[in-house]
Chain A
Amino acid sequence: DAGVIQSPRHEVTEMGQEVTLRCKPISGHDYLFWYRQTMMRGLELLIYFNNNVPIDDSGMPEDRFSAKMPNASFSTLKIQPSEPRDSAVYFCASTTLGLSTDTQYFGPGTRLTVL
């Protein structure tokens, strides 16, 4: 298996622009998570899905952030409009209860820079 796939790996954009991050979870995994990592705040859970349904979005910072999972093999995290404080590494992870819920498989991350 190729593992969790994220694209793009790096994104540089200007303040006010829309940014879309993409994630393909491991096949067969029914949980998908979006995290954000910064030096100041560490690794934070933004939102997670179970069977394509958003379960907990309490970590989403504000209305500028939105996430969708139209099918079991694809999810997007969108920021509109983007701001410099959104600069961070965004990770997607997946797992299934058939393994262990503690065992999440993380993707390589997308490093976002908002100028």
Chain B
Amino acid sequence: LAKTTQPISMDSYEGQEVNITCSHNNIATNDYITWYQQFPSQGPRFIIQGYKTKVTNEVASLFIPADRKSSTLSLPRVSLSDTAVYYCLVVPSGGYNKLIFGAGTRLAVHP
């Protein structure tokens, strides 16, 4: 499984756009990039997944460059409720594969 590297923590203010970058230099051809969000005292929640280019849903956007060695999770106009830990995972496609959660990025949104 490809190892991922992301910042330990980030700070932002309400209304700002937040971009969290994840490095996965040894990503394999059949790997997908998946992001989870974990609020305090809750279990992780899937937020977005992508293979290449750009994916957008109601929660976030995921930008993946052509070489796929990194990805950026973009949260538009964050609010206090976006304060959470964000995990970047690389998972092979096909069948079931273990999810390996790293330390994640602890995002703190301030008023």
A interface, CB within 8 angstroms of B: 4, 31, 42-45, 48, 50, 55-56, 91, 93, 97, 100-109
A66 vs B110: C-alpha distance when bound (angstroms):
43
B residues near A (Cβ < 8 Å) are 32, 34, 41-46, 49, 87, 89, 91, 95-104
Contact B102 A104 (CB under 8 A): no
Inter-subunit contact A101/B91 (CB<8 Å): yes
| Chain B binding surface, main DSSP class | loop
* Interchain CB contact under 8 A, A45 and B46: no
**B46 and A56 within 8 A (CB):** no
Additional pairs, 19, CB under 8 Å, beyond known A42-B101, A109-B43: A31-B96, A42-B104, A43-B44, A44-B101, A48-B96, A50-B96, A55-B96, A91-B44, A97-B96, A100-B49, A101-B95, A101-B96, A102-B46, A102-B89, A103-B46, A104-B44, A106-B43, A108-B41, A108-B42
- What are the residues of chain A within 8 A of B44 when measuring CB–CB? 43, 91, 104, 106
Residues of B within 8 A of A50 (CB): 96
- Which residues of A are found within 8 Å of B49, using beta-carbon distances? 100, 102-103
CA separation between A105 and B43, bound complex, in Å?
Answer: 8
Q: Which residue of A lies closest to B32 (CB)?
A: A102
CA distance A108 to B97 in the complex (A): 22
